[in-house]
Structure 1
Amino acid sequence: MTDRDVFLPVGAQPTLEDLVEQAVTAEELGYDRAWFPETWGRDAVTAMATAAERTDEIGIGTSIANIYSRSPALLGQTAATLQEATDGRFRLGVGPSGPIVIENWHGMEFGNPLRRTRETVEIVKRVLSGDPVSYDGEYFDLEGFRLRCDVPEPAPPVDASGLGPKAVELAGRFADGWHAVSYTRDGLTERLADLRRGAELGDRDPNDLRVTVSVSCCALEDGERARELVAQHTAFYIGGMGTFYRDNLARQGYETVANEIYERWQDGEKERATAIVREELRDQMGAAGTSDEAREQLRQYLDLDGLDAVNVSFPRGAGPEEVHETMTALAP
């Protein structure tokens, strides 16, 4: 059975208390895991540590912690500490994010995200093993230290995000799972093949890898409002967050649509970009509408082969009451 997770909007909620209360509610509603993203709002580590103190059973993880703002060794230390804080409920998700965030917010060169992701995953796993870490990489050289505190048992799994074929293949080869975002239902098939190929290159069993797909969801009594929020969210990422999400949609057979959304958004025609999402992608991306409508659309994701978990994610414009209404309507 496919797990049903929840992807909490760390930066968008009015207060940390609102965010932590959403994690508590998710546990009460029976969700399997609460994922915490990290962009340019609240940091995910503080939010997760606070949520760990207020929950008992729900899994907790990052989706994703970027691989530029913390060193791989610090990511390993953080994963070990959060595994302790959650009594074994933690799962680390890492990824490169994108050049807009990394260069304009963190002030770092984006460089080669594939190589840096690989080195980060390898180093984090060595840190979590408790053995001395000796690593000679293109980006990182480590020597002479090991984790000073007790090694967490079990060590938390380390997942990687990825959009393109090579990034997904890398996740299959080196990580314990893949985090997918901004995919149509039909567009997942090719990437799952890339994941399996990566696992084979790493001499690993593809069935041991955990595939988690995030779906932008909004289930409200006002179904029209819900559909508009999800369309706005999708248009923002395709049109306003650089070219990665646009290119990802184009690879899935929507090149003309992806380019038009991007161009309209860049020209300041945000309402038109949003309208294109509603016209061209309403049956393929997201789960939005009334409770019954959104549940049926989410079910189509849950029924896809090759997925281990579907993430109920929320549009960036949704307020706390709308997040709560959606979380309740789409609960397991």
Structure 2
Amino acid sequence: MLPTLIAGALLAASTVLPPQAASDVSTSAELKAALANAKPGDTIELADGTYTGNFKTTVSGNSGNPITLTGSAGAVLTASGGYGLHLNGASYWNVRGITVTGGQKGIMVDGAAHVTIDGVTVHGLDMEGVHFRNSSTYGVIKNSRIYDTGNDGRGMGEGVYVGSAGGTSDRSDHVQIVGNTIGPDVGGEAVDLKEGTAGGLVSGNSFDGKGLTGANFDDSWVDVKGNDYVIENNTGKNTTNNGYETHSQQPGWGCGTVFRDNRSDLTGATGSGRYAFNITNYDAAGCTVTVARSNTMTGGRALTNPGIPVS
């Protein structure tokens, strides 16, 4: 399990040095060129305005010289299909302040380490808001707002999605989801943590499940299928069924999570569970989950489903 001290150290590790060079960007063509030609230590500064297209980079910074893409919420990346911003194998990036909208997914991080997304707005998407995939490790999404996702109606519009379904080869480990506002009108869970991923942190977020579709069992704010996560100090409201869930989609996964200091409002939930924590895979001999007494709830049936210890 991941104690608070370790979790805090991981977040501190995402702190970066000041950038070394800057380029001012005000058109879509300039942005595409800047992403393609960035070098470690560069800063790409976006002027307010609309940037239409799909924007991608495959260039990495390094631990001492990350690359920064920054702008205000008035710098809007607008896609029609595909990904708004795709960091494909592009490690050591900071993405700050901008808005990403339209398209299939908002921000996709593929096979990249130490990507920090801070203070962005992501909305108006067919599927997920922010996705860490293909063993993207030590990623951070913080202080951001994600809403209005899953507009294709298939229940695949999670706010933040970590890993991949259907196996355990995607080791997008140590991802931190901190201080975000996720919802309303998010078509899937606010946070979906897939089997194969481990050691992450979900802390200090605000979840609004208004808009959950119920498709593909999307009936909670957070679904944990990975191992050894810490889920703490979050607040949630407007769920159709439960607040938080764990599942074992693959043998040995969905284990070791710690839930503490979360506040759940289940008022209005109409599902068959209506638990703040629905732990579907608890096994004292091999797959434990910790639900702390410091969690609180209003409405609903009970803090946990029957048979789950609260400590």
What is the TM-score when the length of structure 2 is the normalising length? 0.29
- Higher helix content, 1 or 2: 1
Choose between structure 1 and 2 for higher RCO, CA contacts under 8 A separated by at least 6 residues: 1
**Larger proportion of strand:** 2
Relative to the length of structure 1, the TM-score reads: 0.27
